[in-house]
Amino acid sequence: MELESPSSFRDRPVNIDEDGKRKWIYAKQPKGKWYVRRTIVGWLAISFLVLAPFIKINGNPLMLFDIANRKFSIFGQMIWAQDSYLLALIMAVTVVFIVLFTVIYGRLWCGWACPQTVFLEMIYRRIEYLFEGNYRNHKPKNEQASSNFWLKIGKHASFLLVSILITNIFLNWIVGPARLYEIVTSPISENWFGFVAMIALSLFYYWIYAFFREQVCTMICPYGRIQGALLDSRTIGIIYDYKRGEPRGAKNSGDCINCHQCITVCPTGIDIKNGSQLECINCTACIDECNLVMKKIHKPENLIRFDSVLGVETGKRSIFNGRTYAYSAVLLILIVALGVTVSNRKPLETTMLRVPGSIYQQVDSVTYSNLYQVKIINKTETDKNLVLKVVSPKSGRLQLATGQTSLKKQGMLESILIVNLNRNDLTGKSTNIEIGIYEGETLLEVYSTNFIGPVK
């Protein structure tokens, strides 16, 4: 990558040249305390991604997004698609949390915990350094090694292998470890769809990490695009202290010697001296690199540092302002509402709908029946033995077509329900009835529906 002229960053992304062609970014491996910290956080994030579906809380996985069966386990709390109000609340809390976090800490998530960055910087980039050596002056340090055919094959084979592993990590979050093991160990002919999905996903990840890379952060990620609307002069981010650094150059009086070392380590190829930019993922690599330079020229460290624009301007760092307080208040209210809603959740989720196209049947001269499709979800962590009774009108009788009344924890019962009513209990063409769902003698839920009968 050629060094850019000072103003070209305003016209186009630094990884695109004047003709609109991609310019490959050869980011040098950083060295320093921030890189060590980021490595620790990165590997903790990878461990969480790998282990979360295996860790159980109350018998539920720590994390599971089982879209096919429409059930989600979030920190061991099982949530069904039917809990739509709960999902909406979780989403609202998440969005407000993201907004609040971004207002205060900027794009910290991107550089430190986002799976895209963590996998790219902690695994793929390190594999690249292993095969091609480190980079210097925006080129591979060992150009001979980087163009060696067999080393290239080795690098890309390793990339592909890691991509397959990442696909398995991702699938563990979607289908769970048991189902994934079943897919992997059963013949392809029995699971051809799962197998094709795994291959396609692995190739997609390989393409992302081997070729597309930083463009995910700089061009596609919607979170990156909304930064401009959320950041303000008090937001903490990676800032070049222009007051201390300018005017630049060895012969000038500022501390910045214009050595460009902060650009050589940047994974998105930008020059942080141009100010806060959309492409900056707050990875801190430039802090480490500039600190090394400052040490060499016997100047104080942290010419580039975590700070706010206001902090650099005034020398005071404050993350608290009216917007921060307002977002925190909304977030607190939402978290309390979420806690109350989760603790007051009904143990069962029941739906009873009349079988489509069916009307009433006459059983004998005084009895009529209706058919219902019944679905009961047990949201608790204990198996249940259920009894269904017609609560109102009292003379009503019912029968489950499958005869099944036991319901496993987090399980679902689906059956056809036949309800019989006496002619005398009908109040018209449509009669309101109530079905009670009991566990032993305990009434868990009363479900109201309509019973269709002949016009009286």
Residues interacting with ligand SF4, by CB under 6 A? Answer: 238, 240, 245, 256-262, 265-268, 270, 272-273, 280-286, 289-290, 293, 303-304
Query: Nearer Cβ to ligand SF4, position 257 or 312?
Result: 257
In whole angstroms, how large is the CA radius of gyration of the chain? Answer: 31
What backbone phi and psi angles, to 5 degrees, belong to 205? -60, -40
Query: Nearer Cβ to ligand SF4, position 292 or 335?
Result: 292
Query: Nearer Cβ to ligand SF4, position 283 or 334?
Result: 283
Least distance from C-beta 279 to ligand SF4, angstroms?
7
Least distance from C-beta 39 to ligand SF4, angstroms?
14
Q: Is 306 helix (H, G, I), strand (E, B) or coil?
A: strand
Residue 350's DSSP bridge partners are 376
Helix (H) or strand (E) holding 386: strand 384-392
Burial readout 164-198 (b: 16 or more C-beta within 10 A, e: otherwise): bebbbbbbbbebbeebbeebeeeeeeebeebbeeb
Query: Nearer Cβ to ligand SF4, position 65 or 109?
Result: 109
Q: Are 213 and 220 in contact (CB under 8 A)?
A: no
Query: Nearer Cβ to ligand SF4, position 112 or 170?
Result: 112
Peptide bond into 187 cis (omega under 30): no
Least distance from C-beta 414 to ligand SF4, angstroms?
52
Least distance from C-beta 333 to ligand SF4, angstroms?
34
Query: Nearer Cβ to ligand SF4, position 297 or 353?
Result: 297
Least distance from C-beta 107 to ligand SF4, angstroms?
8
Least distance from C-beta 38 to ligand SF4, angstroms?
10
Query: Nearer Cβ to ligand SF4, position 96 or 285?
Result: 285
Query: Nearer Cβ to ligand SF4, position 183 or 265?
Result: 265
The CA distance from 65 to 79, in Å, is 10
Least distance from C-beta 287 to ligand SF4, angstroms?
7
* Helical residues (DSSP H) of 176-321, grouped into ranges: 177-185, 192-207, 215, 222-225, 227-230, 242-245, 261-264, 285-296, 309-314
The CA distance from 172 to 159, in Å, is 20
Query: Nearer Cβ to ligand SF4, position 275 or 339?
Result: 275
> Token pair for residue 83?
């809990």
Q: Is 307 helix (H, G, I), strand (E, B) or coil?
A: strand
Q: How many residues does the chain have?
A: 456
Query: Nearer Cβ to ligand SF4, position 175 or 281?
Result: 281
What backbone phi and psi angles, to 5 degrees, belong to 271? -110, 110
Least distance from C-beta 283 to ligand SF4, angstroms?
3
Least distance from C-beta 288 to ligand SF4, angstroms?
9
Percent of residues in the chain assigned helix, strand, coil, to nearest 5: 45, 20, 35
Eight-state DSSP code of residue 422: E
Least distance from C-beta 319 to ligand SF4, angstroms?
18
From residue 70, alpha-carbon distances to 78, 254, 394, 412, 417 in Å are 11, 60, 36, 12, 24
Residue 371's DSSP bridge partners are 418
